[in-house]
A and B are shown apart, each in its own frame.
Chain A
Amino acid sequence: MQKQAIFQSKLLPYALVAPQLAIVLIFFYWPALQAVIQSFLLQDAFGLSTSFVWFDNYLELFRERAYFEAILRTFFFSFAIAVSSLSFALLLAVMADKPLRGSMLYRTLLIWPYAVAPPVVGVLWIFMLHPSLGVLSRYLRALGIDWNPLLDGDQAAALIILAAAWKQISYNFLFFLAGLQSIPRSVIEAAAIDGARPMRRFWTVIFPLLSPTIFFLLVVNIVYAFFDTFGIIDTMTRGGPGKSTETLVYKVYTDGLLGGNLGSSAAQSVILMIMVIVLTGIQFRFVERKVTY
């Protein structure tokens, strides 16, 4: 069979891909290029004059202590969100994989949170855990915990991690369930006959066979925690109290749009862009190799 399409005219193939190319160029490359250019510029406080300053914005950034703190905080958040949502999703998937009555219902319900938009997730958790409005806050205080995420930075961080991880559980659950179901039943039965108890069966057979899925989800979750938690942070804490929940992406927003420092904000965007390219690169390399066990 002929795999390559044959075109009579040389222009037709270009014309066919042109709309897609136009979208990519206008909506992705153009803003990205703007960000790169902007990151080399410095504006005065009133936006009246702009000067080209080479890498000054970047150098300024690296001298700033707050930036390093934001990097560390973002890594910590990513790690905490990825680990907690992955492990909880795996636990749920293992449970839902069992032949239970009404398992289809559980599965469907567990997928629902994925359809909730990040800012809505933030609002939901605020309603539960707001120090004065929150339903759960009362119980926490009854337990003797001085719960006030509006004042306590660590509690605010915990709140963000909780909400962000909760939202990602559905997505991870879906992939884990599919992963679990693709493991041949007979392999698990063979392990059972081979004398492995359920826990040992899980750690020596099921978990290693899920490792490609786990790796894929790890990268996806890190990217999610880096970039998609903006809506949650913005509705719940606005980066505060202090800067205790300000991630790299949120800092781009506060420095640029609130602080008016467009040059620095653009430089931060470019650094984030490089990070995401690296992460995607890692993912593609491993996904293409497919088998990691």
Chain B
Amino acid sequence: MANVTLRSVRKTYPGGFEAIKGVDVDVGDGQFCVLVGPSGCGKSTLLRMVAGLETVTGGEIDIGGRVVNGIEPADRDIAMVFQNYALYPHMSVYNNMAYGLRNRGMAEAEIKTRVEEAARVLELSAMLERKPRQLSGGQRQRVAMGRAIVRQPKVFLFDEPLSNLDAKLRIAMRVEIRKLQRRLNTTSIYVTHDQLEAMTLADILVVMNGGQVEQVGNPLEIYEKPATTFVASFIGAPPMNLMSTRPEEIRSQLAGSNAADAGIVGIRPEDFVITDETPAGGVALPLTVEAIERVGAETFVYGSREQEDQRVAATPGELPPGEVIVRIPGTQAPAIGARIRVAAVRAKLHLFSGDGRKRIET
């Protein structure tokens, strides 16, 4: 049981490349923290620094009240699950799980109890004598989990543990990991690039971009109040519609409030309704339907605005300029080429400064 605190942690490689540019995160005891961001944002590097596999070039990493900067991975009392599982291919499942305990000089009887308990929890009891190559991807994943839990460490670290599994298994394992973590109540840090995984697993979500933290908070809070346009478009699928407020069409609708300072307005696809009315202080847009995706419960409408605007601050998953996604109930489906009018109420607008770095509260 421990909390993990990162205090202005930095990582600069010998070549001068700054991978982590000062990160402050505080993960409370027993909390599940997810680091999410696009590839190359430094989330894995940060996790490896917590594990002790990468050196820390600035700031402090504190696990359970002890600064661990100069401490070997073995002595940090952490366990890590790797993306490729990193099982020992020459050892049986049992020995894979027992290895860490043997290295710490635990009695063989106690090892047996712990490994068998972990195997029971993870439904691996029938496979203890098998070698990793005789297991399926999901089973290997569970052995990697087992290897972590038998140690009963202070902190679990997960480095994209589900990215090698197929979609169905990924969802099942995601639920498993969450249940297991709740039951063991062990502080966990989990790295992923999948925003859905991040949303569903996290107690605390840390959205990273370019070696910096964009936003830290409760996942729903982040979804509802993204701090930057990067977070707005990264969290949520399909991404938030981000539009410049410069075109007269939008500017006139936002007039008469602090929204006038905003350079960018964001509206989530589900916050639009097809209507002819214009809500007071909200935004209404005429669209031409370009494409439709019907996925059953909902329909995604891809529309283009009459008035093209220039690109807003570059963000991942960004829509082409002038394109708007609208999510409507699966029962509706406008015809392609139809001209519709969509509107979002004032409370559903997200306003950002012109560079996308600052959220403006309405």
Binding site for B on A (CB under 8 A): 184, 186-187, 189-197, 200, 204-205, 208-209, 211, 291, 293
A146, chain B: closest CB distance, angstroms: 48
B99–A204 contact, CB under 8 A? yes
A193–B103 contact, CB under 8 A? no
Rounded to whole angstroms, the CA-CA distance of A211 and B88 in the bound complex is: 14
B78–A193 contact, CB under 8 A? yes
B82–A190 contact, CB under 8 A? yes
- Beyond A192-B73, A193-B79, is A186–B99 a contact (Cβ under 8 Å)? no
A192–B88 contact, CB under 8 A? no
B23, chain A: closest CB distance, angstroms: 21
A156, chain B: closest CB distance, angstroms: 42
B103–A195 contact, CB under 8 A? yes
B155, chain A: closest CB distance, angstroms: 11
A73, chain B: closest CB distance, angstroms: 36
Q: Which of chain A's residues has its CB closest to B131's CB?
A: A293
- Beyond A193-B74, A194-B100, is A186–B86 a contact (Cβ under 8 Å)? yes
Contact partners of B151 in chain A: CB under 8 A: 194
Interface code B78-97, partner A: CB below 8 Å = 1, 0 otherwise? 11101110111110000000
Q: Which 7 A-B pairs have the closest CB atoms?
A: A194-B100, A293-B90, A186-B86, A195-B103, A190-B86, A195-B74, A208-B90
Is B53 part of the binding interface, using a Cβ–Cβ cutoff of 8 Å?
yes
Contact partners of A211 in chain B: CB under 8 A: 90
- The B interface is mostly helix, strand or loop, or mixed, namely loop
Contact partners of B80 in chain A: CB under 8 A: 189-190, 193
Is B285 part of the binding interface, using a Cβ–Cβ cutoff of 8 Å?
no
B264, chain A: closest CB distance, angstroms: 41
Q: Report the contact-size class of chain B (Cβ under 8 Å from the partner).
A: 20 to 34
- The A interface is mostly helix, strand or loop, or mixed, namely helix
Is B147 part of the binding interface, using a Cβ–Cβ cutoff of 8 Å?
yes
Is B51 part of the binding interface, using a Cβ–Cβ cutoff of 8 Å?
yes
B136, chain A: closest CB distance, angstroms: 18
Contact partners of A204 in chain B: CB under 8 A: 99
Rounded to whole angstroms, the CA-CA distance of A195 and B99 in the bound complex is: 9
Is B104 part of the binding interface, using a Cβ–Cβ cutoff of 8 Å?
yes
Rounded to whole angstroms, the CA-CA distance of A163 and B79 in the bound complex is: 48
B82–A189 contact, CB under 8 A? yes
CB pairs A–B below 8 angstroms (17 shown): A187-B87, A187-B89, A189-B86, A190-B86, A192-B53, A193-B53, A193-B73, A193-B74, A193-B78, A193-B79, A194-B99, A194-B100, A195-B103, A195-B104, A208-B90, A209-B89, A291-B133
Q: Which of chain B's residues has its CB closest to A189's CB?
A: B53
A184–B99 contact, CB under 8 A? no
Contact partners of A194 in chain B: CB under 8 A: 74, 99-100, 103, 147, 151
Contact partners of A208 in chain B: CB under 8 A: 90
Contact partners of A209 in chain B: CB under 8 A: 89-90
Rounded to whole angstroms, the CA-CA distance of A209 and B91 in the bound complex is: 10
Q: Which of A193, A195, A197 has the most CB of B within 10 A?
A: A193
- Beyond A191-B99, A196-B99, is A293–B89 a contact (Cβ under 8 Å)? yes
Rounded to whole angstroms, the CA-CA distance of A208 and B90 in the bound complex is: 7
Rounded to whole angstroms, the CA-CA distance of A194 and B79 in the bound complex is: 7
Rounded to whole angstroms, the CA-CA distance of A193 and B151 in the bound complex is: 11
B158, chain A: closest CB distance, angstroms: 13
B151, chain A: closest CB distance, angstroms: 8
A196–B103 contact, CB under 8 A? yes
B204, chain A: closest CB distance, angstroms: 23
Contact partners of B104 in chain A: CB under 8 A: 195
A193-B78, A193-B100, A204-B99 given; 11 more Cβ-contact pairs under 8 Å: A184-B84, A187-B88, A189-B51, A189-B82, A190-B88, A192-B74, A193-B74, A194-B74, A209-B89, A209-B90, A293-B90
